[in-house]
Structures are given as structure tokens and as C-alpha cells.
Amino acid sequence: MYSQRNNEKKRALLKQRPVVIWFTGLPASGKSTLATQLETTLLEKGYLSQWLDGDDLRNGLTRDLGFTEAEQEENIRRCAEVAKLFRESGLITICSFISPTQHIRNVAREIIGAADFLEIYVNCPLEVCIQRDDKHMYTKALRGSVTNLVGVNFPYEAPRQPWLELYTHHYSIPDCLNRIWEILEPRIQVQ
């Protein structure tokens, strides 16, 4: 009860409803690009947010983990716990994680809370992701020097019912951001 009252006070103080926006999709599908642009949009419109990126957390909080199925689940579990803490502090939290299976995403949803977990599937064909890949991870995986890349060495399981699905190979980043904003703004506004 005490925590509930404090959360309501935080919402009133920040003038926003905290949620977790969870971008998922293949590597190089556009998750991080959309996440950074969304964070900028939120700040420009007066909303306080925090972006959590898979690459950044893999270099710090989860650097002790590899890429087995169990380690990927633990990676997402830790990331979801951090996202939950940011949400509980009143922030709109933006996450960009491959999170390749429905099970792993369900773990995150359960930790964060289904009502505040806004899953955005960044849907982009593998061939387009390969062309966009400025880190050359797909090239390395196809040559065999990288053996743990989702989309090549492990399958990506598309979300069954995402909050929003964006086709980044058909629509521009500004068009995708406009679509996100259309349905996000009513969710985060405090009346």
C-alpha cells in the first residue's frame, strides 16, 4: 500500500505514467535506432525516460553471461529487473533487446507486469538486416567466426501478440516513430 501511494505521487510529480517499451527483433532490424529516436522525442515533449540497450548491458551488468538458452534467459531476467526499477521510480523505460523467444519475453513481461509491458516487434526480413549490419556480425556468423548470432545460428521467434508491430523495411524511421507516438501518448499522459 505504501509503495502504491508513492508511485501515485511520482506520477503526479513527473506528470507521466511510467511504462516499459520493449523493442524486440533481429539484430540490425532497427531496435536501437527507434529506441534512441523515441527517447529524444519523449524528452522534447517533456517526458522523462531511460533507455536500456542490449549491447550496453552486455558490456556491464551481464558481461559474465554467454549465449546459451539459459544465459540468454538470465540476461533478459536481469535487464527486466532493471527496467522494472526504472518504471517503479516513475520513468518511461525504453528497452532494445533481441530477446529471441516468446518464453524469454514472457519472463520479462512477468517481472515488469503485463499492464506496463509494451512490446514492439521490429519486423524486418533477415536479408535486409544483413544489408544494414554495420557491425558485420552477420558476415562473421555466415563465415563461421561467430557462432551465437540470432537469425543465423539461433532462430528468432516472432512475438505472438505484440503491442505494436513495425515493418522497418517498408516504413521510414520517422513514420515508425509517428505510429509509436500515436498509441503511446494516451498511455503515458496523466490527466
Handedness of CA 62, 64, 32, 25 (dihedral sign): negative
Q: Which DSSP letter does residue 6 get?
A: H
* Residue 89 bears catalytic tag: no
114 vs 163: CA distance, rounded Å? 11
16 vs 154: CA distance, rounded Å? 38
Burial tier of 23 (Cβ tally within 10 Å: 0-12, 13-18, 19+): buried
Q: Which DSSP letter does residue 152 get?
A: T
The catalytic residue among 49, 99, 145, 172 is 99
How many angstroms separate the Cα of 95 from the Cα of each of 42, 105, 127?
14, 12, 24
**Catalytic center residues:** 99
